Structure 1
Amino acid sequence: MTTYIPSLTLPAFVFEQPAAAILLPIAAGTAVGFSISPKETQKTYLDLRQPPLRPPPWVFGPVWTALYGAMGYAAYRAWTTGMNSFDAKKVVLAKHGATLYTIQLALNLIWTPLFFGFKRPIEASVDIVALTGVTGYLAYIWGQVDEVSGWFLAPYLAWLGFANYLCIGAGYLNGWSFTDKEKSLSEKPKNN
Structure 2
Amino acid sequence: MTTYLPQLTLPESVFGSLPASVLLPIALGTAVGYSTRPKDVPRQYLSLKNPPLRPPPQVFGPVWTILYGMMGYAAHRAYTLGTSPLSLPGTIAAARHGTTLYTIQLGLNLAWMPLFFGFNRPVLALVDIVALLGANGYLAWLWGTQVDKTAGWLLVPYLAWMTFATYLNAGTGYLNNWDLSGKSGKKE
Q: Which amino acid aligns with 1:62?
A: P
Per the alignment, in what secondary structure is the counterpart of residue 180 of structure 2?
Answer: coil
Query: Which deviations, in whole Å up to 9, do the C-alpha atoms of 1:34-69 show, x marking residues without a partner?
Result: 002352221121111000000001100000000000
Q: Which amino acid aligns with 1:93?
A: A
Corresponding position of 1:99: 100
Mapped contact 1:48–1:181 kept (Cα < 8 A) = no
Per the alignment, in what secondary structure is the counterpart of residue 76 of structure 1?
Answer: helix
Shift of residue 156, structure 1, vs aligned partner: 0.1
Mapped contact 2:78–2:95 kept (Cα < 8 A) = yes
2: CA distance between counterparts of 1:68 and 1:40? 25
**Unpaired stretches in structure 1, ≥5 consecutive residues:** 184-192
Corresponding position of 1:69: 69
Instruction: Kindly report structure 1 stretches of 4+ aligned residues shifted beyond 3 Å.
Output: none
Q: Paired residues, what number? A: 183
Shift of residue 86, structure 1, vs aligned partner: 2.6
Q: Which amino acid aligns with 1:10?
A: L
Q: Percent identity of the aligned residues?
A: 61
2: CA distance between counterparts of 1:86 and 1:37? 43
2: CA distance between counterparts of 1:126 and 1:175? 16
2: CA distance between counterparts of 1:26 and 1:134? 19
Q: In angstroms, what is the RMSD of aligned CA positions?
A: 1.1
2: CA distance between counterparts of 1:182 and 1:69? 35
Do the aligned partners of residues 146 and 91 (structure 1) sit closer, same or farther apart at CA in structure 2, a change above 3 Å counting?
same
Q: How does the TM-score come out when normalised to structure 1?
A: 0.93
Corresponding position of 2:151: 149
Do the aligned partners of residues 34 and 182 (structure 1) sit closer, same or farther apart at CA in structure 2, a change above 3 Å counting?
farther
Per the alignment, in what secondary structure is the counterpart of residue 177 of structure 1?
Answer: coil
Q: How does the TM-score come out when normalised to structure 2?
A: 0.95
Corresponding position of 2:127: 126
